[in-house]
Structure 1
Amino acid sequence: MKTSRITYAIISMLAGIFLLVSAGCSVGLPDTGASVSTDGQKLKVYFLDVGQGASQLLVTPSGKTMLIDAGNNDKEQVMLDYMKKYRISKLDVVIGTHPDADHIGGLDKVVDQIPVETIYMPKVQSNTKTFESLLTSIKKKGLKVKTAKAGISWDLDEQVHVDMLAPTRSYDDSNNMSAVVKVTYGHNSFLLTGDAEKESEKDMIASGADLRADVLLVGHHGSNSSTTLNFLKKVNPKYAVIQVGEGNTYGHPKSAILSRLQKQGVEIYRNDKQGTIEVASDGTTIHISTER
């Protein structure tokens, strides 16, 4: 009888420990009310620190890759170093959002050194050496540029979907010609805006596109030209990333934009303060880590 009681007590204790451990494993998992078949695999979006410029590298759960912009001309080697660091041997998609040097300056060397499957650029010309150098690199690789414009969409892999939301029309200002991309993985989404300004933001709203996103790349490095209150409310992000260089002469990001983001309860990350910013999504939750 004594032995049976001891055995029963041991079994009860082990069962309690099992239930406690099982409960502990489930802490923090939100009840979304819907299933997302991502199997816990991560989409990683790197907001690369390229100083006063912009570049985003995306790596999907299956290893597909997309590079949007590549910083200024003096960041060519920096970009190649990033490709090596993140073990990028091929780029499935490259997007040059618009011809400004601080966005496409490093793209020529990336195209020279890394195999590229598909490249998108908006239908806007520039007579700069930077733009011509990129076109030369594209031509040497035998690539054909696809026009970046609203209405284009594709699956980067089976679980990651890409929608191009802008430009919705032609603009005189090259910033407003910026390719704007929304990337969706499960319940999480990213809105990557290039240098799109008020006019483009207004047209995106008018288009009826679903602008909601968990993570917003703040337009035009936090300039007053972008991130209107109406647009920000439509996006309703939890997090904002500002790609900006230390001590830049433009005064980016502007205090009015920072204040606007803060008043909307958006958590702000900046390359000049935190270096490269890595945002990882499992399709349900987002984890952000910074270089510093």
Structure 2
Amino acid sequence: MKYLLFNIIFASCFIQMVYSQNVPSWKEGYLDIHHINTGRGNATFIVFPDGTTMLIDAGDNNRIDERSVEPKPNNEITVAECIVDYIKYFMPQKHKNNIDYCLITHFHSDHLGAVFKNKVSEGDYYLTGITEVHHLLPILSLVDRGYQYMCPDEANRTFSNYKKFVNYVTSYDSVKRESFNVGSSRQFALKYLFDKYNTIFKVQNIYANGQLWISNRHEKCSLFPEIKTLAKDNMLRENMLSCVLKLRYGNFSYYTGGDIPGYPGIGKATWHDVESLVAQEVGHVEVAVLNHHGYEDTTNENFVSILSPQVFIAHTWNAAHLNHSVLNRMLSKSLYSYDRDIYVTNVHLAAKIVTGNLINRLKSMQGHIMVRVEKGGDRYWVFVLDDSIFGSYNLLLKSGPYECKCRE
């Protein structure tokens, strides 16, 4: 009996020890990619191998209903406070005063922020999502898809608030704001050790606003007809204009593409499928973030088979996210033969019911998701971190190492 009691106590202590571990700090040569879970939208924080930092989106959709998951870690702190606390915890010590780059993939609240409670009188805008992140941790360079193509009008409160913020901080906070430059591999460049890592690391701008970079021709091509020729019921949607990136580090590669769709809506033209043509240019990647949170209009067979990642990651916060058919396609060995793991930030109870036993094939269903690529880019790990306690990011799961399957 005493041996049984000893074994129980030992096992309990071991589990507590494992689940209270922290991820070792970033060090030069690591590429760290953090998918921060707030339950309210997308936020991805990246530390380049030389310590350059980048934030992709900082959404706060303010959705509190039965279709949405609970805020993480709770509703007592703002989304921006959660994002900034996480970033400060994991960013390089000597670069804690600011974020080098921020990319807003498109102008929707779950990527931008739309909580209109706390107004800044000097700039006449509200602190929400990305605007509050900047107040808590200044951003040096802000990039968005630009204002020249199919922008929301001023009646759109989310976009109007963002524009007021941009106007103020570029005038008074010395923030540099640029439009996303399709085809560029220098817009998000290494800032600190460029010569040391430039030959093996780059962030390639692939697509935005209907413009796709064709690398073998060194030119952009347009995917859409002229706007003036389109009927109202066949008009472009904001998601279709999202900014798409491919990040490379040695043999490692990573895809993220905002909310671009892969299936035209009912009665829509075939060019509403943005994923398929983008996938042809992106090619194989090791890690792919699902477009549009794994919603039903994304992750088509072309996208899955061409990118053929070992790891899928999804920012999910709604009952409709991680659609059953999407999950089937991701898991299909008919599209590519080798194993793949799927990590998501949340799974709504309704999604669990609809997907049934398929949901049990996910590698992880809850938490912040971090990818760490070792120096040189040949191997990487995936860590799942606890999202339930503010300021505490205990390690829940460590997977890897994954060996890169370089196919280019």
List runs of 5+ in structure 2 lacking aligned partners: 1-26, 63-78, 114-128, 212-221, 225-234, 263-272, 334-338, 347-364, 386-395, 397-408
Could you tell me the TM-score, scaled by structure 1's length?
A: 0.79
Q: Which residue number in structure 2 is paired with residue 134 of structure 1? A: 162
2:370 to 269, 278, 284: 278
Counterparts of 1:52 and 1:114 in 2: how far apart (Å)?
A: 19
Counterparts of 1:140 and 1:112 in 2: how far apart (Å)?
A: 12
Change (3 A) 1:122 1:284: same
Change (3 A) 1:195 1:224: same
Q: Which residue number in structure 2 is paired with residue 190 of structure 1? A: 254
For the residue of structure 1 that corresponds to 2:274, the secondary structure is helix
Change (3 A) 1:53 1:280: same
1:200 to 274, 281, 285: 274
Counterparts of 1:138 and 1:111 in 2: how far apart (Å)?
A: 11
Sequence identity (%): 24
- Contact kept? 1:52, 1:243, Cα under 8 Å: no
> Is 1:121 matched up with 2:144?
yes
Counterparts of 1:70 and 1:210 in 2: how far apart (Å)?
A: 24
List runs of 5+ in structure 1 lacking aligned partners: 1-38
Q: Which moved more, 1:236-245 or 1:47-56?
A: 47-56
Comparing both structures, which one devotes a greater share of its residues to helix? 1
Q: CA RMSD in A?
A: 2.1
For the residue of structure 1 that corresponds to 2:165, the secondary structure is helix
For the residue of structure 2 that corresponds to 1:66, the secondary structure is strand
Cα offsets for 1:30-60 (capped at 9, x unmatched): xxxxxxxxx9821000011021421110001
Which amino acid in the other structure matches residue 141 of structure 2? Answer: T
> Is 1:287 matched up with 2:396?
no
Could you tell me the TM-score, scaled by structure 2's length?
A: 0.57
Which amino acid in the other structure matches residue 373 of structure 2? Answer: S
- Contact kept? 1:80, 1:109, Cα under 8 Å: no
1:78 to 54, 69, 82: 82
Give the superposition deviation at 1:287: 0.5
> Is 1:156 matched up with 2:212?
no
For the residue of structure 1 that corresponds to 2:248, the secondary structure is strand
For the residue of structure 2 that corresponds to 1:176, the secondary structure is helix
Counterparts of 1:45 and 1:89 in 2: how far apart (Å)?
A: 19
Q: Which moved more, 1:91-100 or 1:69-78?
A: 69-78
Q: Which residue number in structure 2 is paired with residue 220 of structure 1? A: 292
Give the superposition deviation at 1:210: 3.5
> Is 1:165 matched up with 2:165?
no
Change (3 A) 1:210 1:76: closer
> Is 1:64 matched up with 2:64?
no
Counterparts of 1:83 and 1:40 in 2: how far apart (Å)?
A: 17
For the residue of structure 1 that corresponds to 2:182, the secondary structure is coil
Q: Which moved more, 1:268-277 or 1:146-155?
A: 146-155
For the residue of structure 2 that corresponds to 1:132, the secondary structure is helix
Which amino acid in the other structure matches residue 263 of structure 1? Answer: S
- Contact kept? 1:111, 1:137, Cα under 8 Å: no
- Contact kept? 1:166, 1:200, Cα under 8 Å: no
For the residue of structure 2 that corresponds to 1:141, the secondary structure is helix
Q: Which residue number in structure 2 is paired with residue 242 of structure 1? A: 314
Change (3 A) 1:210 1:242: closer
Change (3 A) 1:236 1:114: same
Counterparts of 1:98 and 1:276 in 2: how far apart (Å)?
A: 22
Counterparts of 2:156 and 2:136 in 1: how far apart (Å)?
A: 22
Give the superposition deviation at 1:156: 2.9
Which amino acid in the other structure matches residue 87 of structure 2? Answer: M
Give the superposition deviation at 1:200: 1.8
Counterparts of 1:52 and 1:141 in 2: how far apart (Å)?
A: 24
Give the superposition deviation at 1:144: 4.7
Counting matched residue pairs gives: 249
Counterparts of 2:381 and 2:295 in 1: how far apart (Å)?
A: 26
Counterparts of 1:44 and 1:193 in 2: how far apart (Å)?
A: 18
Which amino acid in the other structure matches residue 253 of structure 2? Answer: S
For the residue of structure 1 that corresponds to 2:309, the secondary structure is coil
Q: Which residue number in structure 1 is paired with residue 29 of structure 2? A: 41
Structure of greater Rg: 1
